């Protein structure tokens, strides 16, 4: 399959920010870009992920179900904030429900700022807890 999307990775304090850009949105494309993102998370021991999808085409609930079924295997307990300002609200709500049923720690958002706030809401506790654990 010819790659029809681009990924931009930005390592930010406490999380990885990824922009997915392209024309098409199919199950194969989604699985391919999520696999690349998962590999980057493993390489850099990422525990928090913010994904902005800017694909022009829309998804269906059935396509979302297929992709979501694979994500727990790829991401484990990584906290995922997902933003797609162009997707149908129905598909996004469905995706969030199915992601939670699948065991993902994730949430969908209509804005980057809301996603960032959710993703980082307890980062201070994680940092302090990690520092305490290192001291013991």
Q: Is residue 135 scored above 60 in pLDDT?
A: no
Domain 5-135 of CATH type 3.30.70.120: no
> What whole-number distance in Å separates Cα of residue 118 and Cα of residue 128?
18
Average pLDDT of the residues in 22-28: 90
Q: How confident is the model at residue 1 (pLDDT cuts 50, 70, 90)?
A: low
Among candidates 52, 66, 51, 134, which has minimal Cα distance to 98? 66
pTM summary value: 0.87
Q: Could you tell me the end-to-end alpha-carbon distance of the chain, in angstroms, rounded to an integer? A: 50
Do 57 and 22 meet the contact criterion of CB atoms below 8 Å apart?
Answer: no
Average pLDDT of the residues in 43-52: 97
């Amino acid at each position: 399959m010819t790659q029809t999307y681009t990924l931009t990775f930005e390592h930010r304090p406490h999380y990885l920010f990824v922009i997915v850009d392209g024309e098409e949105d199919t199950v194969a494309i989604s699985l391919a870009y999520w696999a690349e993102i998962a590999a980057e998370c493993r390489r850099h021991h990422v525990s928090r992920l913010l994904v902005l999808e800017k694909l022009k085409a829309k998804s269906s609930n059935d396509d979302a179900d297929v992709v979501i079924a694979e994500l727990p295997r790829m991401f484990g307990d990584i906290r995922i904030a997902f933003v797609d300002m162009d997707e149908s609200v129905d598909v996004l709500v469905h995706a969030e429900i199915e992601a939670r049923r699948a065991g993902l720690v994730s949430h969908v958002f209509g804005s980057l700022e809301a996603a960032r706030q959710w993703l980082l809401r307890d980062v201070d506790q994680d940092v302090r807890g990690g520092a305490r654990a290192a001291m013991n």
